[in-house]
A = this chain, B = another copy of it.
Amino acid sequence: MNTRVFAYDTTLRDGSQAQGISFSVEDKLKIVRKLDELGIAYIEAGNPGSNPKDLEFFQRLPEIKLRQARITAFGSTCKVGADPAQDSQVASLLSVDTPAVAIFGKTWDYHVTAILRTTQKENLRMIRDTIAYVKTKGREVVFDAEHFFDGYKANPDYAFKALAAAVEGGADCLVLCDTNGGSFPDEIYDITQKAVESFPGTQIGIHCHNDCELAVANSVRAVQAGVTHVQGTINGIGERCGNANLCAIIPNLQLKLKYDVIPTENLTRLTPVARFVSEIANIEFNDKAAYVGGDAFTHKGGMHIDAVKKNPVSYEHIPPEAVGNERKVLMSEVAGRSTILGRINQIDPSLTKDSPETRAIINRLKELEHAGYQFESAESSFELLVRKMLGKFKPSFELTDFKVIVSEPSPHGANSSAMIKIRVEGEDEITAAEGDGPVNALDKALRRALYRFYPELREMKLTDYKVRVLDSYSASAAKVRVLIESADSSGSWTTIGVSNDVIEASWRALVDAIEYKLAKAREEN
């Protein structure tokens, strides 16, 4: 029987303090559902009294049928000198029906006198009385001991008195917070161990921040010192350098140290949940992230690739499937010919690494990489490139010309229109379309022109469109890289275009997307 450690997610509360993060009520509800499915034990979701959005969220929460997670409202102790039963902030915290409530309080003597501007004794009363009052309402109470480690380093006696006040008030869990993120794994271990030993009847938890890039290590060391409650956020989002990253802590504890954090069968949900939260939060997903990142099991160096092919354990610390991730092997200069050859052989199995065709493809690849192309994430464009260079590609249409016009003020709703003339097997087609912006207009016009010849394009959709400025110093004439993801009922594919002009780059990626779809359709027939 492994030891149970309770995962406590604060993505929606502390995580939402990060620069650029702002969750709608709808976003929050979606994330709660995902975290519950993942098996997160506690979801800290905000303070119903802090703003109307959080209040609406708590009111709509019953829409979701939770499997197991306990929703937690977050607030502070009562004000200096106040009776918790009369304190408006405490009242708002209790105004919604959550099974658990987190109360944070000061444990660093400096903060008590300099920031709260009260006496050490009054601060202890505020902690004790607030928790006692919330307990009378039948809630589970988590006490967040703010700045506990800094407080302990400054005045260990007072920091422990604050914990003791929380225990006297009836707190169910004491969470030791490294609020400023400045503590080190050895300190965290030693101080946490003292707390665990001093309050044997009470659950102890940990809450770390990543200001020294040590939050995951600190959380893991705290568990090794005896805590059974770990706070963090998905992808480590949070103020400044972020909170402790649950997407690394959970597999570290569960796969490596054999604690029970979430149901084992749910571990494969970790990568999808990480991507989901990143999308909802509208922040770029960190492909370098441990366990869940797109590059976490990506091999590029030729020697590494050879060894991984022999046995993945040679350069992988866990099987990627364990956390719902996957292995990738990249093409590029460094990847060496054998990897690229593997891809080429999917199209022409007769070629070897010394064939002149192979060399020509590798040279062209290098030229294009130099010009800003990155085929690592646009394998469909790479496949088309190989087909073209091997004479195994017949374009489905020729562009005669297009013209895109953007007008301001816009005469109708859409401010852009595109006119396009193409030729398919000797037949001309000319069409036009309006759109939101030039790329959208061009995309619509091109499809409209092609539907007559290739009705199968109707089932293809553009599902993602990304623009990356490559050399932003050239300002508005900068080179841009466009990645387009398309999908049909059988799967998705990504294509690329690079140009000084966003429309031209988009056009190239668009043409590749369509050609790839048509090549695929021809093969299936």
* A interface residue numbers (CB < 8 A to B): 16-20, 22, 51, 110-111, 114-115, 179-182, 184-186, 210-214, 216-218, 220-221, 224, 236, 239-242, 245, 248, 251-252, 256-257, 282, 284, 286-291, 293, 295-301, 304, 307, 310-311, 313-318, 330, 332-334, 369, 374, 376, 399, 401-409, 415-416, 435-440, 443, 461-473, 475-478, 480, 484, 499-504, 506-507, 510
Residues of B within 8 A of A115 (CB): 307, 310-311, 314
Query: Which residue of B is nearest A509, CB measured?
Result: B476
Residues of B within 8 A of A299 (CB): 239-240
**Cα–Cα, bound, A298→B402 (Å):** 47
A465 touching B478, Cβ below 8 Å: yes
**Cα–Cα, bound, A20→B51 (Å):** 42
**Cα–Cα, bound, A477→B484 (Å):** 12
Residues of B within 8 A of A408 (CB): 399, 401-403, 504, 507
- Separation in Å of the A113 CB from the closest CB of chain B? 11
From B20, B218, B241, B330, A296 is in contact (CB under 8 Å) with B241
Query: Which residue of B is nearest A308, CB measured?
Result: B115
A17 touching B300, Cβ below 8 Å: yes
A287 touching B19, Cβ below 8 Å: yes
20 CB-based A-B contacts, threshold 8 Å: A19-B330, A19-B376, A20-B374, A51-B333, A181-B317, A182-B256, A184-B252, A184-B256, A213-B216, A214-B252, A239-B299, A240-B295, A240-B299, A282-B470, A406-B438, A415-B501, A437-B477, A461-B475, A463-B473, A464-B473
A464 touching B470, Cβ below 8 Å: no
Residues of B within 8 A of A461 (CB): 475
A212 touching B252, Cβ below 8 Å: yes
A475 touching B467, Cβ below 8 Å: no
**Cα–Cα, bound, A326→B473 (Å):** 23
Residues of B within 8 A of A464 (CB): 472-473, 475
Residues of B within 8 A of A443 (CB): 475-476
B240 touching A477, Cβ below 8 Å: no
Residues of B within 8 A of A332 (CB): 22
**Cα–Cα, bound, A224→B186 (Å):** 10
